[in-house]
Structure 1
């Protein structure tokens, strides 16, 4: 029994050792399998990867180096271009300066030669006129080529040679752009430019600081953002000027002539202009006429702008000339007293008053014509706040179907029609065959840009009466100011017969 136990024990030990050895071999085999990739050992795999990675790294490095070099070259080229551009700009600037100096020098030389001819008294008017035109042409040509500094020199040259004086012959610079010129460059010194004339030119952003400008004339010029601070503006003429945002804190600016001006945003000193007409004020409001430093406005909305709209009686009642009216083509009407037309006399008509009557004119193609200009209302009209009111009395006598026909046309300064209106005639049917005058009224906004209104009156005869019995009286045209921005946006027509 003991022997059997010993053999059995040895057998178990041997089996155990064999099992461990087999497990170790199996583990080594598995480990070897784990240390291979795609059938290659780790070392071989690393060698294969090294074969590919080295060229790849070299390629990437080469590409990166190439890109970097390209960027460096690009930056260098840009710097070269910038240097070349600066040099080119500098060359162009120098060439421009040289060109402008040449233009200025040639202009002064040629004007110096012309000056003696312009001032001589032994030249015919025709030749003198030609010399002035030549001087204007040379001046305008030079101004178009020069910068603001040299433009300032030219203005000073012309003034000093007495070619820009309001009280003598002056070169016409109208239409020139003199924006930004500076006529003073010494702080604290007052330069004398009394009586200088710079009319109908562009003077935006121009400096007149410290200038002495007694009775200077800037009529019609654009002076927005101009600086007149500490300037002497006694009786300076700013008629029809645009002074938007101008600095007018000047000496004696209150005595400047301010008529038909735009002063929106302008700055005054302690005392505003003593007298100002037809202007847009700094706060955007409108003034028709103030002569007390803007303390009051004399705007009278009851001023009839029609000349002789009430048919002023004439000594010669058969005269074909009618005061205030132009007769077109042939005589068309006469002015007669109501006493000559007794059937017309009513409680509100005086027998001593007169009326426009067709009279003995038959089948006339002529008409009465009157044009009313709006110079004194231009700023109000251009601001879009002007209203018009046009009215008249028209009719006829008894059953005769003769009538008066009116047209009204708003016109721009160029003559372009902005709005036209024809008024329907009052027929004998509408009058119920009565001898009466019917009231007609049209009112609404004045079109922007309106310069004048044209009134035409026709006397049409259609009856078998020996007379043309068309009648018209009390023709009135008023300009009024809108109280609110949305007032009377439409044109409204009214008619009333007794």
Structure 2
């Protein structure tokens, strides 16, 4: 009986040791109330968002760097474009100024040529007016001279006709001839050859 009791006690001690060892193993497998598998799952589930966050930060930094480089390139392109636009505008302004100067010189040349032509035309017209006025004065003088000679001839012919047709002549024939001769000579000096020929035919 004693041996059986000892055997039971030893078996109970072994069972207690097994329970204690199992408890120790279970306590080692648990960390903060979690098993190793649960801890690994928790770490893996926490590591994935962390890696995603790190990658997001890295991508964000890369995008910021790319955006900065793009901004710098855009600024360089904008500066280059602005410089080119300024050079083109300056070139166009210079060309416009040259064209304006050329047009102004041409306008001055045309104005000078037009002024010279106007002066020549005015001078020609003035000479023509002077010539026309001189010719008109000459014609008027010739007309007055012809009219005066015609009046002298007409007056002479009328006087001679009246004297020849008078019936009551009290003057001697010799005196009358002297008067006729003097009057005729005075008239001949005033007339031209054509009228003098007509006067001689009358006599």
TM range (shorter): 0.3 to 0.5
Structure with bigger helix share is 2
Highest Rg: 1 or 2?
2
TM-score by length of 1: 0.20
TM-score by length of 2: 0.45
- Whose RCO is larger (CA < 8 A, sep 6+)? 2
